[in-house]
């Protein structure tokens, strides 16, 4: 059984799509959901599905080895970032080579990098007046939004679309694709 750990800082709508998709999957299980934010709705959402939840402590943020031990003890084979806004420490990237992935709400390499998250991304897309946006699933390395791209999908934008409209369109794409891309990645790896 492949065991997934989801990291989320916010609402957790992607986390929810992933948890629902893998419910009763024969070889992939969502093992736990971790958050750095006590108020993250994702924590309550995951708990309501019976998923083990964990609030990442300040000590764990400062000393990633503690978190790495926790994840290794639970047999985690893939860390899935779903709206997780803290930087992943280099030690964790080393401890989970090619086993940490992130979803970004734009077509990287455009509209990525430090400070580019959530609505900031969609606002920048609207201001740039581009005709489309989309989502990118990529490996996580030591630099924000810089790891190898695994999958992208795009959506057309209307001239009248505001940041909230773009967010809605992109989120729909994210929910549709993230669980399937995770499944494909893990099934490929276990061949
Ligand atoms: C998603 O749109 C995700 O792509 C984005 O945060 C949102 C989380 O929504 N992530 C980033 O901006 C990371 N740079 P959710 O909590 O409802 O899944």
Catalytic residue among 25, 52, 104, 175: 104
Choose which residue among 14, 30, 45, 166 to substitute to test ligand 1 binding: the one with the highest number of ligand atoms within 8 A of its C-beta.
Answer: 14
- Minimum CA distance residue for ligand 1 atom 11: 117
Q: Residue 92: its pLDDT value, please? A: 96
- Residues 180, 168: Cα–Cα separation, whole Å: 19
> Can you tell me the mean pLDDT for 49-73?
96
- Provide, rounded to the nearest whole percent, the portion of the chain with pLDDT above 90: 92
Mean confidence (pLDDT) of the chain? 96
CA 50–ligand 1 middle distance (angstroms): 22
Q: Which residue has the tokens 């994840």?
A: 71
Cβ distance 159 to 78 under 8 Å?
no
Residue 114: band (very low, low, confident or very high) from pLDDT cuts 50, 70, 90: confident
Cα angle 44, 49, 55 (rounded to 5 degrees) comes to 40
Q: Which 3 state secondary structure label does DSSP give 55?
A: strand
**CB neighbour list of residue 44: distance below 8 Å, 6 or more residues apart:** none
Question: What is the spatial distance between Cα 42 and Cα 38, in angstroms, rounded to a whole number?
Answer: 10
Cα distance between residue 13 and residue 92, in whole Å: 25
pLDDT for 115: 87
Distance CA 94, CA 72 (A): 13
Average pLDDT over residues 26-50: 98
Q: 43: CA distance to ligand 1 center in Å?
A: 15
Q: What pLDDT band is residue 72 in, cutting at 50, 70 and 90?
A: very high
Greater confidence (52 vs 191) lies with 52
Which class for 50: exposed (0-12), middle (13-18), buried (19 or more C-beta within 10 A)? Answer: exposed
Mean pLDDT of 169-178: 98
Q: Of all protein residues, whose CA lies closest to atom 2 belonging to ligand 1?
A: 105
The token duo for 153 is 């999908």
CATH of region 2-189:
3.40.50.170
Q: Is the dihedral of CA 93, 114, 19, 132 positive or negative?
A: negative
Look-up of token digits 């993230």: 178
Q: What pLDDT sits at residue 35?
A: 98
For residue 20, the CA-to-ligand 1 centroid distance in Å is: 17
Q: Which has the closest alpha carbon to 92: 28, 37, 147?
A: 147
Q: Has residue 144 got a pLDDT over 80? A: no
pLDDT at 4: 98
pLDDT of residue 136: 97
The answer to whether residue 104 is catalytic is yes
Q: Which atom of ligand 1 is nearest to the CA of 112?
A: 14
Q: Whose CA is nearest to atom 10 of ligand 1?
A: 83
pTM: 0.97
Is the pLDDT reported for residue 143 higher than 90?
no
Q: pLDDT-derived band of residue 142, with 50, 70 and 90 as boundaries?
A: confident
| pLDDT > 90? residue 191 | no
Domain coordinates in residue numbering, the chain: 2-189
Kindly give the distance from the C-alpha atom of residue 103 to the centroid of ligand 1, in angstroms, as a whole number: 7
| 8 Å CB contact between 144 and 112 | yes
Pocket of ligand 1 (CB under 6 A): 8, 10-15, 82-83, 103-105, 117-118, 121, 171, 174
Confidence of residue 25 (pLDDT cuts 50, 70, 90): very high
Residue count of the chain: 191
CB 134 within 8 A of CB 112: no
Whether the Cβ atoms of residue 17 and residue 179 lie closer than 8 Å to each other: yes
Q: How far is the CA of 8 from the centre of ligand 1 (A)?
A: 8
């Amino acid at each position: 059984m492949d065991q997934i750990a989801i990291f989320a800082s916010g609402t957790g709508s992607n986390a929810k799509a992933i948890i629902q998709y893998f419910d009763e999957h024969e070889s992939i299980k969502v093992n736990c959901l971790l958050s750095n934010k006590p108020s993250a709705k994702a924590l309550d959402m995951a708990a309501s599905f019976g998923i083990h939840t964990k609030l990442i402590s300040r000590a764990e943020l400062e000393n990633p080895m503690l978190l790495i031990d926790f994840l290794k003890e639970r047999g985690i084979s893939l860390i899935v970032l779903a709206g997780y806004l803290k930087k992943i420490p280099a030690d964790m990237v080393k401890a989970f080579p090619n086993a940490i992935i992130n979803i970004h709400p734009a077509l990287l390499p455009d509209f990525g990098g430090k400070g580019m998250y959530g609505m900031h991304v969609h606002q920048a897309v609207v201001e740039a007046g581009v005709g489309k946006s989309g989502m990118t699933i990529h490996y996580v390395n030591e630099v924000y939004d810089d790891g190898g791209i695994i999958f992208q999908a795009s959506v057309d934008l209307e001239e009248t679309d505001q940041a909230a409209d773009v967010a809605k369109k992109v989120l729909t794409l994210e929910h549709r694709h993230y669980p399937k891309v995770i499944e494909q990645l893990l099934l490929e790896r276990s061949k």
